[in-house]
Structure 1
């Protein structure tokens, strides 16, 4: 038997050319999550896994922040001076490509990519390497924290402060709050701080953070507005005030916004501003002073304080009662009026002779001997002053009437003789002459 063998036509030589991306189902990078929102200054874990085709082995792995090549290759992030000290590769050269990026800043917000290079095992014809990059990459957004607060808060309001970020933090965040750098433990709901019926004690600088992270938001001043408290008035100098001194009155009042201060002497407005000064004070400035503190939320007055100015005697005068004609036997009162602080001691003088003390000097049954010039002296520890003199003119009937003859010796017929009548009286008396019981006309020509 002759057998013929029919040869099958030769098979065409099939060359498999590996085209980058043609078998992408075996080269794959998975980021989980693919979008990360991280807090400024925190550490970020970018979880990553990758696969590659059988028959290959990993030659190199690294991360990059750009799809643009430099000198034919994507820049290795671990060799970037801005990242080298902060980047830690946690993966391996098999499946895990996770990294940790520490102390992230706002500049780190961008997309990052994992890059791996494989070597082929030697085949019949082709040898070499394949390069793969996982895109789209993992998107990192770095956010800070900002406190959002009402612009205007009045005492008694309820206030809601919100800790805001530019994106929702990937890691579940527990928010914490600070007032003047001290931890706040009540009123926290989620990312908000609720202050019920605020008072002026709640005024302060508030900031927020996230538990487990050192970063805090910039502090925001919570400025609580309230009416003035009772103003307190102080005087300088605080001791005795003497005429001519400079005196300062200060009004202290707690309020928000700051109050306008007005000054009153009694009910009369005398000035404005927290400080009221009087230079060269005088007795006219003595009196009760108070200040008023007022803002848009209310007003309060201080307690009144008395400004007691000490000064030497002034305006001294003497009055006489009765004010008309004074007749011997009358009762006469002289009163010395003197303005001084403290009250002055009063002394009385007839001419230069001290005759009494006290504001009132009285003479009962006055006589001609009491006539003369009187004045009073007013004296205290700050000085002394005398009044003008007043004349006390006492009217009285004639007394001590006598007749004298000149010449006083023997009288001879034909000589001239003078008879003189002496009489003490006020006003001066009229003189009449009698010979026996007969009235004699006084003829000065004889």
Structure 2
């Protein structure tokens, strides 16, 4: 009979006659997670009692203290473990496994198993709870492109399915909206903008059962076309201007050095190129870098310069108009005798266009004016300015006349000097005696005719002197100088320092024109040039 009962029990004789427990004595788990502790037991075959089992924390009074888990219906449980510790005991399979969800630090300790009224104190469970080190996973499919919505997923695949669902929260400066969620994940729909590139996105997960929170932060990598393209202008070590809009005009003094630096905001970084004018589809850039150095700005650099920023998502360009300015330059002023007056022309080129004025003695003449003695006619076109002065009436050798051109960047003047010459020949007087002698009267008439014919011959030959001196000659460099006589007979008149010539012999007009050449620093050159004044009778 005893043998038959042992066969029904289905175990060895020692297991049938004793209490035994098999379980992992030490278990370590992170807070907030779940743990399953496998356990099997045996008890004597003759111990007939109700199949109630329980787990108690070490030190508990099994007769008065509530268990942490039990399979007894309506049994009061320890309030710390209620709803988190579960015992699914099975007397037939001898299963005493313990399930814990939402483990917290307070669960650390030692626990023992009891069946019927017997406690298995020889084999107890040691539960060690450590801090939660797992962090959420953030999945960003593909590339975030500006303006295009994308779904981001935050998940905790390591969380236990039996536990209380965690609470997900997102933090971002980007435009977002919550999408669907599961027990282990949450979806966020994000519409990125260029300004969201490089900003932080944080997913926080809170486990209410354990009272712990974990998070993960990532930086958004948003791609977008170039924007905010700008040109910085450097002179020396300082920034003089920053251009953000097209068609901005920049004034630069001729000869100065200029450095242009182009920058654009884009992701991925844009390729920067410089063009003259507007960049056409197949135009070749003048420079393929952010910097464009102009060591000495001249007329060739004047015009539109364009910086183009381009990446796979698009392009943007910004242009500036470079205007080269320079002080006035007088171009071959001249004077000539026309009829009974002196006519002078003065032309100048500058940027901005110069203003021309005449200085006659102590007075200033400008604009378009006239009176009985002088007439001024002025005009301008683009960088050119022209002015002419006509003087009538007698002109003395002490006359001071000059033409002056000026703008905001400097001035230049040319002085005209009238050299002294013989005055107009006077009509000879008639020599005669008071009386009525016929011989005396006839002789007087002959003498009168003789002198008048001689004077007319001398008036027919009126030379004009023209001198052209090399600028070096005025500095005593030894350079040669030459002079020529025009519109004169073969007999050359004497120079000015020779002995005086009678008024009846010849009539000469001398003129000297001096050109002070100005530098951009507005100092007057000592170079001197002479021009010709032609006489027209």
Give the distance between the partners of 1:179 and 1:281, measured in 2 at CA. 53
- Count matched residues: 345
1:245 CA drift (Å):
6.4
The 5 A counterparts of 1:120-199 are 131-132=122-123, 143-167=134-158, 169-170=160-161, 171-174=163-166, 176-180=168-172, 185-190=177-182, 191-195=185-189, 198-199=192-193
Question: Is 1:400 aligned to 2:426, yes or no?
Answer: yes
The 5 A counterparts of 1:231-380 are 231-233=229-231, 236-238=239-241, 243=253, 249=260, 251=262, 253-267=264-278, 269=285, 271=287, 273-274=289-290, 285-302=301-318, 304-308=319-323, 310-311=325-326, 313-320=327-334, 327-328=338-339, 332=343, 334-341=345-352, 343-349=353-359, 356-357=365-366, 359-363=386-390, 375-380=402-407
Give the distance between the partners of 2:174 and 2:214, measured in 1 at CA. 12
Query: Which sits farther off after the overlay, 377-386 or 188-197?
Result: 188-197
C-alpha offsets along residues 171-213 of structure 1, whole Å, 9 cap, x if unaligned?
Answer: 2535524233899652243324253665435544333233446
Distance 1:165 1:198, change over 3 A: same
Give the distance between the partners of 2:388 and 2:418, measured in 1 at CA. 13
Partner of 2:219: 221
Give the distance between the partners of 2:133 and 2:390, measured in 1 at CA. 105
C-alpha offsets along residues 219-278 of structure 1, whole Å, 9 cap, x if unaligned?
Answer: 222312111235344654249966376656554533211222333453485545556565
C-alpha offsets along residues 268-314 of structure 1, whole Å, 9 cap, x if unaligned?
Answer: 85545556565676676554444322111111222x44445554x24
After superposition, the CA RMSD in angstroms is 6.0
Task: Report the 3-state secondary structure (helix = DSSP H, G, I; strand = E; otherwise coil) of the residue aligned with 1:237.
Answer: strand
1:344 CA drift (Å):
3.4
The TM-score normalised by the length of structure 2 is 0.46
Q: What runs of 5+ residues in structure 2 fail to find an aligned partner?
A: 1-10, 60-79, 86-95, 127-131, 234-238, 243-249, 280-284, 368-385, 432-449, 465-487, 491-537
Tell me if structure 1 keeps the 8 A contact 2:57–2:110. no
The TM-score normalised by the length of structure 1 is 0.53
Give the distance between the partners of 1:62 and 1:285, measured in 2 at CA. 92
Give the distance between the partners of 1:360 and 1:248, measured in 2 at CA. 38
Distance 1:375 1:232, change over 3 A: same
Give the distance between the partners of 2:351 and 2:430, measured in 1 at CA. 57
Task: Report the 3-state secondary structure (helix = DSSP H, G, I; strand = E; otherwise coil) of the residue aligned with 2:216.
Answer: coil
Task: Report the 3-state secondary structure (helix = DSSP H, G, I; strand = E; otherwise coil) of the residue aligned with 1:173.
Answer: coil
1:360 CA drift (Å):
0.3
Task: Report the 3-state secondary structure (helix = DSSP H, G, I; strand = E; otherwise coil) of the residue aligned with 1:400.
Answer: coil
Distance 1:284 1:165, change over 3 A: same
Give the distance between the partners of 1:306 and 1:336, measured in 2 at CA. 27
Tell me if structure 1 keeps the 8 A contact 2:139–2:154. yes
Task: Report the 3-state secondary structure (helix = DSSP H, G, I; strand = E; otherwise coil) of the residue aligned with 2:213.
Answer: coil
Partner of 1:68: none
Partner of 2:69: none
1:337 CA drift (Å):
1.0
Q: What runs of 5+ residues in structure 1 fail to find an aligned partner?
A: 1-17, 64-87, 122-128, 136-140, 406-417, 432-446
The 5 A counterparts of 1:89-108 are 101-102=103-104
Give the distance between the partners of 2:261 and 2:216, measured in 1 at CA. 37
